[in-house]
Amino acid sequence: MSSPKKPRADAERNRLRLLAAARKAFGEGDEPVTLERVAREAGVGIGTLYRHFPTREALVEALYRDELAQVVASAPKLIESEKPLRALRRWMDRFAEYASTKHDMADTLRAIIEAGTVDMTQVRAELTEAVQLIMDAGVEDGTLRADVRAQDVVVTVVGACSMRTLPGGPEQLDRMLDLILAGVRQPPS
Residues of this chain that interact with a copy of itself (CB under 8 A) are: 110, 113-114, 116, 121, 124, 145, 148-149, 151-153, 155-156, 158-160, 162-168, 172, 175-176, 178-185, 187-189
Quote the least distance from Cβ 151 to a copy of itself, whole Å: 6
From a copy of itself, DNA, none, interface partner of 25 (C-beta below 5 to 8 A by class): none
Inter-residue long-range contacts of 110-118, CB under 8 Å, 24+ positions, other chains counted: 110/158, 110/159, 110/162, 111/55, 111/57, 112/57, 112/61, 113/154, 113/155, 113/158, 115/57
Is the CB of 73 or the CB of 163 nearer to a copy of itself? 163
5 binds DNA (CB under 7 A): yes
From a copy of itself, DNA, none, interface partner of 187 (C-beta below 5 to 8 A by class): a copy of itself
From a copy of itself, DNA, none, interface partner of 48 (C-beta below 5 to 8 A by class): DNA
7 binds DNA (CB under 7 A): yes
**Residues near 51 by Cβ (< 8 Å), separated by ≥ 6?**
none
* Whole-number Å distance between alpha carbons of 44 and 129: 38
Of 88, 93, 58, 62, the closest CA to residue 75 belongs to 88
- Tell me the β-bridge partners of 185: 144
Three-class SS of residue 27? helix
Quick one: which of 2, 4, 8, 167 contacts DNA (CB under 7 A)? 8
* Whole-number Å distance between alpha carbons of 34 and 59: 12
From DNA, a copy of itself, none, interface partner of 179 (C-beta below 5 to 8 A by class): a copy of itself
* Contact in structure between 123 and 170 (CB atoms under 8 Å): no
Quote the least distance from Cβ 109 to a copy of itself, whole Å: 11
Quote the least distance from Cβ 148 to a copy of itself, whole Å: 6
Is the CB of 35 or the CB of 155 nearer to DNA? 35
